[in-house]
Amino acid sequence: MPPVLIILFFLALAVLITWAGYRYYARPGRFYEQLGTVTVSDILSEPGGAAPGLALRVIRLVGERIPVSPEEVSLTRRLLIAAGYREDHHLAVYFGFRALALLAAGLLAFVFQSFIESYTLRIVTFIVAGVVGFFIPSMLLEHLVDKRQEVLRLSLPDALDLMVVCVEAGLGLDQAINVVSRELALSHPEICDELGLINLEIRGGKRRVEALRNLAERTGEPEIRKLISILVQTDRFGTSIADSLRTHSDFMRIRRRQLAEERAGKVGVKLVFPIFFCILPAMLVVVAGPGVLQIFKQLIPLMRQFRQSQGG
């Protein structure tokens, strides 16, 4: 294997191990956020930061000089807002990151050109690298959107329970939303952030119904859309808000349990192929291997004797 491929392989492996350790084991950023100290994301977002801030400013400048259609700008802005990135410069950073990813993929394909002899394969390598470099940022953004929607969906029942307590204690819906956005800030910061935006929009002069619908449009989560529809209908017809919220919270928990049971039921079918292709061959080698070796050990001398007897 060429030295360049070995170096690239070990670099990719080191980055993967570092990311996995930070994401699933260390998680220092999460603890720092709970303690109220400066996190890595804060350093990246600071305009006066050191190397990370400079890198983001360069990416932003690149993104600001890329011509983009208004339709793509609108769609990308909606995805960024759904992923939790609402600042104006996030759009330029995304387009700059996509351009640099495309450039990096092209440079990587150019490096591998010396190891490819076929001219057709070289062209195919450039095309594949361009497609991968162009679509990887979009795939990452969609992954962030799905992840944030899942977090909002899982934190919604707790927020509804606290909202029911506040409403039954005599608070109005606006005050209940305000209390929930403050009390659950440590355990469920994403849903509290969205509820805090509702309060800001209502204070800014928007109607409650419009602010709630903006929440559904921002997140794009189906469960939140259902909740907003229930709140709008409750406010329109004058029914009990506490009963509606409690019923919807119970429905979400039942739905979550049903989804868990559905996934558990699919485990047996999904394990067929790993068992058949990975575990079963190893078991056959361990169980039948010694017997096969003994058969060959006894059979080969007998075959040699038989051939010698036939030749004699």
pLDDT tens digits for 198-253?
A: 888 888 888 888 888 888 888 888 888 888 888 888 878 777 888 888 888 888 88
Task: Tell me the average pLDDT across 283-288.
Answer: 84
Q: Angle at the Cα of 213 (from 69 to 247), degrees rounded to 5?
A: 140
The pLDDT assigned to 28 comes to 55
**Within-domain flag for 295:** no
User: How remote is the C-alpha of 249 from its chain's centroid?
Assistant: 25
In-domain check, residue 179: yes
Total tally of structural domains belonging to the chain: 1
Range of the domain at 183: 151-267
Residue from 206, 245, 207, 243 nearest 229 by CA: 245
Left, alpha or beta for 136 (phi > 0: left; psi -120 to 50: alpha)?
alpha
Query: Is 155 among the domain residues?
Result: yes
Q: Residues 166-187: pLDDT tens digits?
A: 888 888 888 888 888 888 888 8
27: pLDDT strictly greater than 70: no
Q: Which of 23-27, 93-97, 116-120, 201-205 has the lowest mean pLDDT?
A: 23-27
189 within domain boundaries = yes
In a domain, residue 36? The reply is: no
Would 174 be classed as within a structural domain?
A: yes
Whether residue 156 is contained in a domain is answered as: yes
**Is the residue at 65 inside a domain?**
no
